[in-house]
């Protein structure tokens, strides 16, 4: 189904169906369930929706696979059951026919591409993905190359799918608080930008050469050579790379590769990319990593790359330095500078919660407690995190994706090691330095932040009041008692007034009307008794 109408219908049907089922669950069927049953039903619904998208993406291919992989990284926006289903989505699809590939090569190089350009080209692809597939070739001088060919018509189908997703996102932003809360349009824009990168073979060639230049002094990390003179629109030619994949555990052991060293090398190479280069490979799945006989790593496929701003690099350094030095102020400041903390977050509670979590993850001593104190503190952290003080800016989507893939690879290479501790160890030699001019800026920002902290606390309080999130416990019992005393005093005054009026009337009537005089005196006495009784109760 390659027509615009057909592909658009698939995306909108998935989005609308998910929305209708969620509304039905929340507003209709949810009325007949208790809270626990409703939560189970919600988890089952999200798992089913993730399955529907995964199956549709595998069937449609192209952009939908990229969409599913993209959404699988947004655990801050989507439920775990949904992202887990999409995490199983692999960017491996059946290859297009050799006839279609050959048509692209003939258009790029002419009808005599063999033997004028290549000595030979294999008709069987060595890899096939949603946007392109790779064929092995040989140059006239005998050098082995990998020829990456974009799927015919993929640019058009990607644009159709992106437009359909944009319609669904615009609907979610317009009609749902969830869509507005997580800035789905910004997430869609990043998805569009990265996908367009993958379709630009000239850009990929430049990114591959930039990556290789960043690691030119590291004998264990590299990238294949790019043949710019042979690259054409829709066709990228590069050095052919062979080696084991990092998930081939048995083969790695047979080859005598130290898996723990390989895991450390992989993490260290990423820490350099994040903390020093600010330019990183965003799709390090095992198919894009080749382990060499000396234990080195060759990265391939530079279609999906991420780039960090200098200020974000320094904020990440500050976070790492704070963790290494057990300085919670610096660690939390790093989170704030990265944009991970919402403006309404209570920073004092955040420091305690972050320290406690690091203590549990790393076995450190940020927080010392035991017994009931720990249980109480865990409850406090749970309530604090429920307020959702964290957010993940859209620009970090692919950093999170890379980190998630790395954790899976490292778990296979070194199953007994603590992944977070490996990250910290890999960052040590890169975290100490600062980018040019960043040190002074860091000091100034720190001084300003502490000077303005009272104002920030006041602003957070006002924002919480505005959203009616702020609650102040008040004991109304003293006020109730005072009001009761005032009410009884008023009643007593009323009866005294009536009694006094009756007594005055009795005195004026005198002996001319003895019956009415006696009645008025009795009324005055009764009112006096009632007034005294009411006043005593007050």
3-class DSSP state of 176: coil
b/e for 172-207, b at 16 or more Cβ within 10 A? bbeeeeebeebebeebbebbbebbebbbebebbbeb
Which run of H or E residues covers position 502? Answer: helix 477-509
Angle at 414 between CA 413 and CA 415, to 5 degrees: 110
Which run of H or E residues covers position 450? Answer: helix 438-451
* DSSP string for 85-135: HHHT--S--PPPPHHHHHHHHHHHH-TTHHHHTEEEEEEEEEEE-SSEEEE
* DSSP string for 400-421: HHHHHHHHHHHHHH-TTS-HHH
277 tagged catalytic: no
Catalytic residue among 283, 312, 333, 337: 283
Upstream peptide bond of 405 is cis (omega within 30 degrees of 0): no
What is the C-alpha to C-alpha distance for residues 391 and 76, in angstroms, rounded to an integer? 7
What is the C-alpha to C-alpha distance for residues 514 and 95, in angstroms, rounded to an integer? 120
Alpha-carbon 362 to chain mean position: 22
Whether residue 423 contacts residue 411, with contact meaning beta carbons closer than 8 Å, is answered with no
CA atoms within 13 A on the CB side of 493: 6
What tokens were used for 197? 């990168």
Which run of H or E residues covers position 236? Answer: strand 235-239
Cα dist from 429 to 146, 255, 269, 288, 327, whole Å: 35, 29, 11, 26, 18
**Nearest of 117, 115, 124 to residue 97 by alpha carbon:** 124
3-class DSSP state of 146: strand
**Nearest of 329, 335, 321, 295 to residue 430 by alpha carbon:** 321
What is the C-alpha to C-alpha distance for residues 318 and 337, in angstroms, rounded to an integer? 9
Whether residue 91 contacts residue 282, with contact meaning beta carbons closer than 8 Å, is answered with no
What is the C-alpha to C-alpha distance for residues 211 and 229, in angstroms, rounded to an integer? 19
3-class DSSP state of 96: coil
What tokens were used for 90? 């692999």
What is the C-alpha to C-alpha distance for residues 448 and 174, in angstroms, rounded to an integer? 38
151, with CB counted inside 10 A (0-12, 13-18, 19+), is buried
Whether residue 228 contacts residue 205, with contact meaning beta carbons closer than 8 Å, is answered with yes
Q: CA torsion, points 466, 342, 330, 422, in degrees to nearest 10?
A: 150
Active site residues: 283
């Amino acid at each position: 189904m390659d027509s615009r109408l057909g592909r658009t219908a698939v995306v909108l049907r998935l989005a609308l169906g998910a929305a209708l089922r969620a509304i039905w669950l929340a507003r209709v069927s949810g009325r007949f369930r208790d809270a626990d049953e409703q939560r189970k039903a919600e988890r089952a619904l999200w798992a089913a929706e993730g399955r529907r998208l995964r199956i549709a993406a595998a069937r449609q291919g192209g952009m939908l696979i990229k969409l599913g992989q993209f959404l699988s990284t947004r655990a801050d926006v989507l439920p775990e059951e949904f992202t887990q289903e999409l995490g199983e989505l692999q960017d491996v699809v059946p290859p297009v026919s050799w006839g279609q590939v050959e048509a692209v090569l003939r258009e790029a190089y002419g009808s005599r591409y063999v033997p004028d350009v290549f000595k030979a080209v294999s008709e069987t692809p060595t890899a096939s993905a949603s946007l392109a597939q790779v064929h092995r070739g040989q140059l006239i001088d005998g050098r082995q190359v990998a020829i990456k060919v974009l799927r015919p018509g993929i640019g058009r189908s990607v644009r159709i799918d992106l437009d359909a997703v944009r319609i669904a996102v615009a609907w979610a932003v317009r009609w749902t608080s969830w869509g507005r809360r997580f800035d789905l349009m910004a997430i869609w824009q990043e998805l569009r930008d990265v996908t367009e990168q993958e379709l630009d073979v000239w850009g990929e060639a430049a990114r591959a050469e930039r990556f290789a230049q960043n690691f030119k002094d590291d004998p264990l990390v590299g990238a294949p050579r790019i043949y710019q003179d042979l690259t054409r629109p829709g066709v990228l030619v590069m050095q052919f790379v062979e080696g084991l994949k990092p998930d081939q555990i048995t083969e790695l052991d047979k080859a005598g590769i130290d898996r723990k060293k390989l895991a450390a090398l992989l993490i260290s190479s990423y820490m350099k990319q994040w903390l020093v280069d600010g330019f990183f490979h965003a799709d390090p799945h095992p198919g894009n990593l080749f382990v060499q006989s000396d234990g080195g790593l060759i990265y391939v496929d530079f279609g999906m790359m991420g780039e960090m701003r200098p200020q974000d690099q320094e904020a990440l350094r500050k976070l790492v330095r704070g963790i290494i030095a057990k300085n919670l102020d610096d660690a939390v400041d790093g989170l704030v500078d990265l944009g991970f903390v919402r403006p309404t977050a209570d920073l004092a509670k955040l420091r305690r919660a972050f320290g406690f979590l690091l203590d549990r993850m790393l076995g450190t001593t940020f927080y010392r407690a035991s017994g009931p104190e720990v249980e109480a503190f865990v409850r406090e952290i749970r309530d604090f995190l429920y307020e959702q003080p964290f957010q993940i800016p859209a620009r970090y989507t692919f950093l999170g994706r890379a980190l998630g893939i790395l954790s899976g690879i490292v778990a296979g290479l070194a199953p007994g090691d603590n992944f977070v501790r490996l990250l910290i160890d890999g960052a040590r030699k890169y975290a100490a330095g600062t980018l040019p001019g960043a040190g002074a800026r860091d000091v100034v920002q720190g001084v300003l932040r502490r000077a303005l902290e009272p104002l920030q606390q006041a602003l957070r309080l006002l924002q919480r009041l505005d959203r009616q999130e702020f609650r102040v416990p008040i004991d109304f019992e003293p006020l109730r008692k005072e009001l009761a005393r005032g009410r009884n005093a008023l009643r007593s005054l009323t009866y005294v007034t009536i009694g006094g009026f009756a007594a005055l009337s009795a005195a004026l009537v005198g002996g001319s009307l003895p019956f009415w005089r006696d009645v008025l005196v009795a009324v005055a006495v009764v009112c006096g008794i009632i007034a005294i009784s009411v006043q005593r109760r007050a």
